[in-house]
A and B are shown apart, each in its own frame.
Chain A
């Protein structure tokens, strides 16, 4: 990187940070870097070096190249429209690649596939040794019996076999297999360049002896393919290549790619000062932009920025202002702590929760905080409830926690079960959100704030728990709770009750059935309560 960018080695980490590139680790002469997904142009060392040269003023403004037409054409067959409609391409001459260059190109290709290519769905890049190719290329489709030698194979395979048997086929076959026709890129003699977006042909494999490179990018999103080609094109110039354009003949339309014309965007002194908070003169703004490899022309108080085509992250003038910040150096931005007075306050809900929590803490209960997502065993099976109406998340990576809790007590029982070796009595409570299906709710999910608690001790009579519930409810809302006997699957019949407040059912309490305690591996008797805080007010 030092060689490529001209930056002194010891200053590299600091410069990289000022460019928004994260230095993950530093071992010997190797820096592990992480770049943000909005900067696919940082997918090779060349792209990063290009930015550093600007930052240090070694090179300023747009990289400028004289691109000639290559005379090569890609003819697009109408049959690709339904499969993978777009293709762009370029030819690069005078290529001399050492092993490190090949590694960089492949690394860049993979990063672009994963990032802006959305795992090759939006775009896929083919790099080919053009030495063995005719200059008339066809982008067409074939059927599943079509045969060619894919990269990495020693003999011909049918398209069907490629999809079923090769690693790439298994991974990316899904992107084309809905159709009966498969995209294929070949020259006028029938030499296969690639079967996009799956695999290249072996005939055009790139090696360190490749002199001329043909690059194709196919996909479903023309802008995305053009963006990626601009990045590849600039990298090939940096590699010492001479990039030439290719004519894409698509029905009655024709395009010349790569399109490397910079887009323009105007910003003003005012735009910079209102967003960044610094008053920079136009000359400084211009200088800052040149350092980020933009061109800038001053027109009165306006600065017309020319955006390098490989900078695919610039959507809005604020993005150009951000570039001014980079050129100016965010390390030079002084925090402004001159704010007006305003009155702060906690939300009503957290005020309520806080006062209720204080009450329960005062009754000697230890607070626990558990996850909203629970296992089916905790929330349903162990407490003898049906999960028919349960709310589940889709495709959870943590299979043990897929169910959204609708009650707090099961989670508290789980905590008791994990603490059987701690001193008793154990008095626990939790305050948290519970969720259940509700077709009238905005998201189809009703959310309710609840409080639940448990006492585990040598004896835990129902009446003790009832005193606790009475105290909390009466002290928080001023009304006395009333009760009716209830049948609750995990509580002992005849020792369970529903809690009502002014005729509205808000929760339950009771002694937990021994077999339920057993399932949670609890060895002590337990009484529990739970009621809705949302319904109290």
Chain B
């Protein structure tokens, strides 16, 4: 078939396989077994079978003894003994009294074994074509080592069952829909060839959002559904809004270069003088907040350093300063920065989520209520709150959610009521509630990742393969 079609055998084989699969052809596989000469058989054809060789020696040395006969033969002792036995039983030789050997009654006749071997010398023979006598000889000789060899060949015979549609002997079928066919199609039936609808397809990759974006969107939806307005702000902020306005003393370790990334070679300009004075007084002596303050000399210079924001609370404090009297529920979702070495559990840049409520009658119990609803919205049914400390809230709580996946409580954020030292200098009279957390923690849980760096490695294998709803 390969010859006929002038194609590679491999393609022919695959095509037949496909045609067979579709039921267009039948394939009958015929197994044929052949017999041919083995190495010993070839020697036997040339020199005679061992029993014939013995008979020849006896014929030319009549009366020879067995030991003498053995010395004249080139066979091994085992071969010799076997050949001697067969020569005797076939009547090729006879043993006289005194152990002398003489040619036997059949010594001049050709053996059927010899004929059979001779016939193989010219061509191999199909076993199923041997006649009854030959089969007997074959049965005998195949047990003697090396005389015969067996071969098997498989032959596939292809028989046409029916012709595939569109093939040369049927009416012409269309292969693709074309504009001109569409034009001609009214009132006319056009036949199309069938295609293999089960054949595997080539992968394509949809344009997909990054999993972090997806989570951000989910979280944003929860905030919005709870009546919160989103606020936005710059990544680089004056230290004043990141630290001072949040009552973080200027010698606080969080302000060290060890923990915080300052921008080299630039400084901030502060312009809300009234608030600056109040913040300064609050740090130094508590101002009118009722606090004793941190009791040190506050430096404006320090508050003018430009810093990559370490939290999004900086945005909240600015919002409160601009809207001190407004009852508001706001949230922000954005990048924050810490001076960390990148490893499996630390990023120097990550996403923080924060919500702030400024309203009359806001209390710690309300805070816990807001948070319960919020975490439920994110799919965490079980939430508990453990008292803790944060520099700018009092009291402060650490929300913990129960992960069914990990079967344990995990910390997911921080929260509290802003200290009066934070909100009073901004002109806010309400209690202000705040809570937030790092998105990556939730992302690791969601996507079953162990190494936090994987979230930002942008491996296309992951981005293309990750499930929409893992």
Contact = CB atoms under 8 A, between A and B. Distances in A.
B238 A442 contact: yes
A325 B458 contact: no
Q: Which of B262, B365, B459 has the most CB of A within 10 A?
A: B365
A445 B263 CA distance: 9
Given A315-B291, A335-B369, A444 B268 contact: yes
Nearest to B348: A398
Given A315-B292, A342-B329, A443-B236, A404 B263 contact: yes
Contact of B268 (A316, A363, A442): A442
A418 B228 CA distance: 39
Given A370-B458, A395-B257, A317 B290 contact: yes
Nearest to A391: B263
A118 interface: yes
A316 B290 contact: yes
Interface string A340-375: 111111110110001001001111111111111100
7 contacts: A38-B389, A276-B365, A316-B421, A325-B395, A337-B369, A426-B460, A444-B268
Contacts of B421: 315-316
Size class of the A contact interface (CB-based, 8 Å): 35 or more
Contacts of B385: 330, 333
B99 to A, nearest CB: 84
A391 B364 contact: no
Contact of A443 (B258, B264, B290, B306): B306
B125 interface: no
Interface string B202-235: 0101111110110001001001111111111011
A444 B209 CA distance: 33
Contacts of B231: 347
B76 interface: no
Interface in B350-382: 359, 361, 363-366, 368-373
Interface in B299-349: 306, 308, 329, 333, 335, 337, 339-342, 348-349
B425 interface: no
A366 B460 contact: yes
Interface of B: 203, 205-210, 212-213, 217, 220, 223-232, 234-238, 251, 253, 257-258, 261-269, 271, 286, 289-296, 306, 308, 329, 333, 335, 337, 339-342, 348-349, 359, 361, 363-366, 368-373, 385-389, 391, 394-395, 397, 417, 419-421, 431, 456-461, 463-464
A254 interface: no
A372 B335 contact: yes
Contact of A316 (B224, B265, B289): B289
A397 interface: yes
B53 to A, nearest CB: 70
Interface stretch (A15-23, A65-73, A211-219, A501-509): A15-23
A392 B264 contact: yes
B345 to A, nearest CB: 14
Contacts of B329: 342, 344
A387 to B, nearest CB: 12
Nearest to A273: B363
Contact of B207 (A322, A330, A360, A443): A360
Contact of B420 (A276, A318, A333): A318
A340 B227 CA distance: 9
Contacts of B271: 442
Contacts of B264: 391-394
Given A337-B369, A346-B230, A17 B419 contact: no
Contacts of A321: 394-395
A276 B364 contact: yes
B389 A39 contact: yes
Nearest to B372: A335
Given A20-B389, A336-B369, A342 B232 contact: no
Interface in A471-522: none
A304 interface: no
A219 B372 CA distance: 46
B234 A443 contact: yes
A316 B458 contact: no
A136 interface: no
B208 A367 contact: yes
Contacts of A422: 460-461, 464
Given A315-B292, A362-B207, A369 B253 contact: no
